[in-house]
Amino acid sequence: MTASPSQLSLLVGSEIWTGSKRQKDALRAKFGGKCAYCGGDLDKMHADHVKPITRVDRDPWGNQLPMAERKQMHPENNVVSNMMPACIGCNLHKGGYSLEEWRALLGHAASILARDKSLFRAALRFGIISANAAPIKFYFEKIGCAS
């Protein structure tokens, strides 16, 4: 008996992520060599766990969480279906955040910078930069792919 296409996709999706060359090549090709989040070209690719496996010890605003609120690692998320190709900048910035936590942080970026950086406030005053309230939409969402 052979597996149906849907069974095969389940098998592939639950495959443990090992970071093998075969897995990395397939991941890089997932969005045509683009970062799943910003859409930039992937010079060097990081394999991002959409649902993090790492410990989260800060809130979306960068404040250290009390010990009781820190999240534990989730090795069950170390599967192929949970991986996204990411540029180094996106992967390092997303870190252990979930997509929605990261989206919230990015959505507050202008207000955080305006609060913390006088150069940002000056650049806004002089019209060198501008902030907008556009909702954060990741590249894979713009092109209509589910995570």
Query: Would you tell me which residues interact with Zn ion (CB under 5 A)?
Result: 35, 37-38, 40, 87, 90
Question: Taking the complex as a whole, how short is the minimal distance between the CB of residue 31 and Zn ion, in angstroms?
Answer: 10
Closer to Zn ion at the Cβ: 65 or 88? 88
Q: CB under 8 Å, gap of 24 or more: what pairs does 102-107 form?
A: 102/60, 103/136, 103/138, 104/60, 105/60, 105/61, 106/136, 107/135, 107/136
Question: Taking the complex as a whole, how short is the minimal distance between the CB of residue 88 and Zn ion, in angstroms?
Answer: 8
Question: Taking the complex as a whole, how short is the minimal distance between the CB of residue 83 and Zn ion, in angstroms?
Answer: 14
CB 82 within 8 A of CB 33: no
Closer to Zn ion at the Cβ: 38 or 113? 38
d(CA 102, CA 144): 19
Question: Taking the complex as a whole, how short is the minimal distance between the CB of residue 89 and Zn ion, in angstroms?
Answer: 6
Instruction: Measure the CA angle with vertex 57, ends 55 and 60; round to 5°.
Output: 110
Closer to Zn ion at the Cβ: 119 or 139? 139
Closer to Zn ion at the Cβ: 35 or 83? 35
Residue 102 phi, psi dihedral angles, 5° rounding: -65, -40
